[in-house]
């Protein structure tokens, strides 16, 4: 899988570009009717969004209770739509944090029924050096350079989502009206600049150059090892939602907080309480509502992984106090989290727990306290009560 194009900026745009390339490929063969894209239910929301933007018909494929793609359902849908199948969008390892063991079989099924395989490369940091999209059977994939090949991991800055294709798709890679890029019979540009957010490429290039073959593979191994280390520490106290057949996860795993809902504790309460320990919560309620998805990556050292586990295990004790009735179901340390400096230093303190417990739950928090600036704001109130701030035209007269 060598030909690549760097026009798309984020991963989502890579998906859009890749699907347009698949579309152009089918059309070049006279297969204008191939308009069905299969997407497993475990997919990131950008997958169906990109497919819809390309005008594809989306057919959802089920997952089993372990979080893996239901191969029987995949087979039946691939065969049912074999005359109109454009392709499959698949994430490997999946957003559920498992390496789908049936990935080769799944890709073969799609090819056998006339489709092309789009691999969402967002989890490439669990593949680099160990396997590859081409090896798995994908025809096109994007690389989230800002996720896999960047320091610090993720970073939340601008994205860069080049797509890589197998040779049959190379002629359709996007071009640009000002500076020609891409294939011989290209699709249109998908972003304004011919090489997307080109400055990101330098970071990725330096990252790859500095790590080299050995270092890149080690990063992947650390990303997977770190996730499994944390999972091993946390699974004694929390339910881990999906794992592979040998009980391990890939580079991320999902902590199920739904069992505490019956006692009034929500995933959001845990996310907010983490702020009192100085942590920004990991992914909340995605891809499964009521859960936290933890992806430690290769970037954190063991001490940091331990600090995070210590915080979550301490919070588990606080949850237990609510379950056992030692803390009030509504008026407790979790429901009031996070605690700001103003709340903690107020002259009046009426809470049923101590200020120390609220602000400095563990010793190391004392040494390096990060103060949240605001307490809990009703999350959805703002979304549901839109306030128009535009002045009426008369105000400009």
Ligand X SMILES: *Cc1c(COP(=O)(O)O)cnc(C)c1O
Which residue number, 203 or 344, has a Cβ lying nearer to ligand X? Answer: 203
68 binding ligand X? (CB under 6 A) = no
Using CA atoms, how far residue 2 sits from 24, 120, 166, 167, in Å, is 19, 16, 7, 8
The neighbouring-strand residues paired with 85 are 36
296 binding ligand X? (CB under 6 A) = no
162 binding ligand X? (CB under 6 A) = no
Length of the chain: 397
Which residue number, 143 or 311, has a Cβ lying nearer to ligand X? Answer: 143
For ligand X, the binding residue among 42, 68, 125, 144 (CB under 6 A) is 144
What x/- string results for residues 254 through 293 when contact with ligand X is judged by CB under 6 A?
----------------------------------------
Binding segment toward ligand X, per CB under 6 A, in 4-12, 256-264, 317-325, 377-385:
4-12
Check if the beta carbon of residue 87 is closer than 8 Å to that of residue 110: yes
Looking at the chain, the number of H-run helices and the number of E-run strands are 13, 11
Q: How far is the C-alpha of 162 from the C-alpha of 17, rounded, in Å?
A: 9
Which residue number, 184 or 202, has a Cβ lying nearer to ligand X? Answer: 202
Which residue number, 44 or 339, has a Cβ lying nearer to ligand X? Answer: 44
Structure tokens given for 85: 């199948």
The neighbouring-strand residues paired with 164 are 4, 141
Cis check: omega of the bond before 392, within 30 degrees of 0: no
Minimum distance between the CB of residue 122 and ligand X, rounded to whole angstroms? 3
For ligand X, the binding residue among 37, 109, 122, 224 (CB under 6 A) is 122
Q: How far is the C-alpha of 348 from the C-alpha of 354, rounded, in Å?
A: 12
What is the maximal distance between C-alpha atoms in the chain?
Answer: 76
What x/- string results for residues 70 through 109 when contact with ligand X is judged by CB under 6 A?
---------------------x---x--------------
Residues that bind ligand X (CB under 6 A): 10-12, 44, 46, 91, 95, 120, 122, 144, 159, 161
């Amino acid at each position: 899988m060598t030909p690549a194009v760097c026009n798309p900026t984020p991963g989502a745009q890579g998906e859009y570009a890749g699907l347009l390339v698949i579309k152009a490929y089918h059309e070049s063969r006279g297969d204008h009717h191939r308009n069905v894209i299969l997407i497993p239910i475990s997919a990131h929301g950008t997958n169906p969004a990109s497919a819809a933007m390309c005008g594809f018909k989306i057919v959802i494929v089920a997952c089993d209770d372990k979080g893996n793609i239901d191969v029987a359902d995949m087979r039946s849908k691939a065969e049912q739509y074999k005359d109109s199948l454009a392709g499959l969008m698949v994430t490997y390892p999946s957003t559920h944090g498992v390496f789908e063991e049936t990935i080769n079989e799944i890709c073969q099924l799609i090819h056998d029924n006339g489709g092309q395989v789009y691999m969402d490369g967002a989890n490439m940091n669990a593949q680099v050096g160990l396997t590859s999209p081409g090896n798995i059977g994908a025809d096109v994939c994007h690389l989230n350079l800002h996720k896999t090949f960047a320091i610090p991991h993720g970073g939340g800055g601008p994205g860069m989502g080049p797509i890589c294709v197998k040779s049959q798709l190379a002629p359709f890679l996007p071009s640009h009206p000002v500076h020609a890029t891409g294939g011989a019979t290209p699709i249109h540009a998908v972003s304004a600049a011919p090489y997307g957010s080109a400055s990101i490429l330098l970071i990725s290039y330096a990252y790859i150059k500095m790590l080299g073959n050995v270092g890149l593979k080690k990063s992947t191994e650390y990303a997977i090892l770190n996730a499994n280390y944390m999972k091993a520490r946390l699974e004694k106290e929390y339910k881990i939602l999906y794992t592979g057949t040998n009980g391990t996860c890939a580079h991320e795993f999902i902590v199920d907080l739904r069992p505490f809902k019956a006692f009034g504790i929500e995933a959001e309460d845990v996310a907010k309480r983490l702020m009192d320990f100085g942590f920004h919560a990991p992914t909340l309620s995605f891809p499964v509502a009521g859960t936290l998805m933890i992806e430690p990556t290769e970037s954190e050292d063991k001490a940091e992984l331990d600090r995070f586990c210590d915080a979550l295990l301490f919070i588990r004790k606080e949850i237990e106090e609510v379950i056992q009735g030692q803390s009030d179901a509504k008026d407790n340390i979790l429901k009031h989290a996070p605690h700001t400096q103003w709340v903690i230093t107020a002259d009046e303190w009426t809470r049923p727990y101590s200020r120390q417990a609220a602000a400095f739950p563990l010793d190391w928090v004392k040494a390096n306290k990060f103060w949240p600036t605001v307490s809990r704001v009703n999350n959805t109130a703002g979304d549901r009560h839109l306030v128009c701030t535009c002045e009426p035209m008369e105000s400009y007269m």
